[in-house]
Amino acid sequence: MKKLLKILIILATVLLCGCEKDDDTNTVTPVTAISFEVEQSNSSNDYTSSVKSASLRLKKQDWRLHHDGKTQLEQSIFYDVTLENGEVLDFGFWFIKYEKDASELMLEPDSSDQLNEKWDYISTEVEASNFYKGFDEARVLINSNVIYHTQVNDGFEVDVEKVTVEGEEKSYVTINFDGTAYGFYDPEGESQEVFAFKNGFFRGVIE
Whether residue 175 sits in one domain with residue 115? yes
Q: Please report, for the chain, how many H helices and E strands are present, in that order.
A: 2, 11
Whether residue 17 sits in one domain with residue 36? no
Max Cα distance, the chain (Å)? 85
Whether 183 has a pLDDT exceeding 50, the answer reads: yes
Closest C-alpha among 140, 120, 5, 6 to residue 62: 120
Whether residue 75 sits in one domain with residue 43? yes
Whether residue 14 sits in one domain with residue 101? no
Q: Model confidence at 15, in pLDDT bands (50, 70, 90)?
A: very low
Average predicted confidence (pLDDT) for the chain: 85
* pLDDT (tens digit per residue) in 29-80: 788 999 999 999 999 999 999 999 999 999 999 998 888 889 999 999 999 9
Angle formed at CA 130 by CA 127 and CA 134, multiple of 5 degrees: 130
Go through the chain and tell me how many residues it has: 207
What percentage of the chain reaches a pLDDT higher than 90? 70
Whether residue 48 sits in one domain with residue 138? yes
Whether residue 100 sits in one domain with residue 75? yes
Query: What SS3 state is found at 207?
Result: coil
User: Lowest mean pLDDT: which of 98-112, 133-147, 160-174?
Assistant: 98-112
Number of alpha carbons in the 13 Å side-chain half-sphere of residue 41: 10
Query: What SS3 state is found at 77?
Result: strand
Question: 6 is in which domain, residue-wise?
Answer: 1-28
Whether residue 85 sits in one domain with residue 50? yes
Query: E strands of 32-136, at which residues?
Result: 33-41, 47-65, 71-83, 88-99, 105-107, 119-121
Q: How many domains does the chain have?
A: 2
The more confident residue out of 156 and 116 is 156
What percentage of the chain reaches a pLDDT higher than 70? 84
pTM: 0.83
* pLDDT (tens digit per residue) in 101-130: 889 999 987 655 566 778 999 999 999 999
Whether residue 47 sits in one domain with residue 24? no
> What is the reported pLDDT for 56?
96
Q: Model confidence at 4, in pLDDT bands (50, 70, 90)?
A: very low
Indicate the pairing of strand 71-83 with strand 47-65: antiparallel
* pLDDT (tens digit per residue) in 86-95: 999 999 999 9
Number of alpha carbons in the 13 Å side-chain half-sphere of residue 114: 6
